[in-house]
Amino acid sequence: MGWRSVFRSNLFEAKVAIVSGGGTGIGLAITRELLELGCHVVICSRDQRKLDAAIAGLAPPLRAKASGRACNVRDEAACMEFVEHVVREKGKVDFLVNCAGGQFVAPAESLSSKGFKAVVETNLVGTWHMCRAAFVKSMEAHGGAIVNITMVTENGIPKMAHSSAARAGVTNLSRTLATEWAPAGVRINCVAPGIIYTKSGFANYGPMGQVLMEAVAPAMPFKRLGTAEEVSAATVFLLSEGASYSSGSTVYVDGGTSLVGYPYPMADTGSVCNFPVYGDESELPPAAICRAKL
């Protein structure tokens, strides 16, 4: 049997959704599931050809309710124009899923200000642009639901200072919007994926991808990476009436990994963090005394 949503097939009949970053990876999985559930979906990314290819790859019955239009989420005016276009074409926006984003692996000390700002501009500021555009151009009048795709940031994310800062910002932005926009009937929640295997994501990670699969995954409680469909199912739940009393929350889709911390291998620099000079030296672990005194 082929892939099927766990949700009722006509759950989102007559609903209209925008999925930023909906042409690849997790965004595409969310797009496919929303279409399966009867939703009209308009996807955006910067590259029209990628959007066209994603739509061409959908099964014909799903393709009928899908469309794509280029929009750079870093550009506020472009986001406003994009949402206006959707409202003109489809009449309204019921759902917004902010999945556009990305990052690159870089040790903090070699991360330029330009690179840091670029990731924050896309992941945090871009999410803000899309939320505000969807609210003022449509949801303010009739309510709606927004899901922002973030990451598990509580323990930090080594070599992703830009992205972990941006995603933590999105989490708090979502909580604030949840309070401000509740009277308009707009709910805003986040889905925080752990390490999810997608071809497009792993193509970006380079050698780090191998480390994630071979060293990090076996040390997780579930001992495997997640799938895009597992992130999609949580997103659909938060968009649905099933989550009608949830706003400002974050659902973790991480196989329990946030409970034990991410077991990222730390670089061995050959040095150790020194023990403090104060305190009783006889209370220190013997091996540590030796190393600290090297």
Site string for ligand ADE, 8-27 (x = CB under 6 A): ------------xx------
Burial of 78 (0-12, 13-18, 19+ CB in 10 A): middle
Closest CA to 122 of 44, 69, 179: 44
Site string for ligand ADE, 232-251 (x = CB under 6 A): --------------------
d(CA 79, CA 89) in angstroms, rounded, equals 15
CB of 207 to ligand ADE, least distance (A): 22
Q: Does 92 bind ligand ADE (CB under 6 A)?
A: no
CB of 198 to ligand ADE, least distance (A): 14
- In the bound state with ligand ADE, the residue whose beta carbon lies nearer, of 72 and 171, is 72
Rg (CA), the chain: 21
Q: Does 115 bind ligand ADE (CB under 6 A)?
A: no
d(CA 122, CA 253) in angstroms, rounded, equals 22
- In the bound state with ligand ADE, the residue whose beta carbon lies nearer, of 19 and 190, is 19
Q: Is the dihedral of CA 180, 239, 241, 226 positive or negative?
A: negative
- Only segment of 100-108, 190-198, 205-213, 218-226 that touches ligand ADE (CB under 6 A): 100-108
CB of 90 to ligand ADE, least distance (A): 19
Site string for ligand ADE, 191-210 (x = CB under 6 A): --------------------
> Which three-class secondary structure state does DSSP give residue 293?
coil
- In the bound state with ligand ADE, the residue whose beta carbon lies nearer, of 102 and 209, is 102
- Tell me which residue has tokens 């009277």: 183
Beta strand 95-98 pairing with 16-20: parallel
Site string for ligand ADE, 124-143 (x = CB under 6 A): --x-----------------
Q: How far is CA 188 from each of CA 95, 142, 174, 177, 243, rounded to the nearest angstrom?
A: 10, 15, 6, 7, 10
Among 67, 98, 103, 122, binds ligand ADE (CB under 6 A): 122
DSSP class of residue 255 equals: T
Q: What are phi and psi of 243, to 5 degrees?
A: -110, 30
Among 19, 28, 37, 73, binds ligand ADE (CB under 6 A): 73
Residues between 34 and 63 that touch ligand ADE (CB under 6 A): 45-46
CB of 70 to ligand ADE, least distance (A): 8
Beta strand 66-68 pairing with 40-44: parallel
What residues line the site for ligand ADE (CB under 6 A)? Answer: 20-21, 45-46, 72-74, 100-102, 122, 126
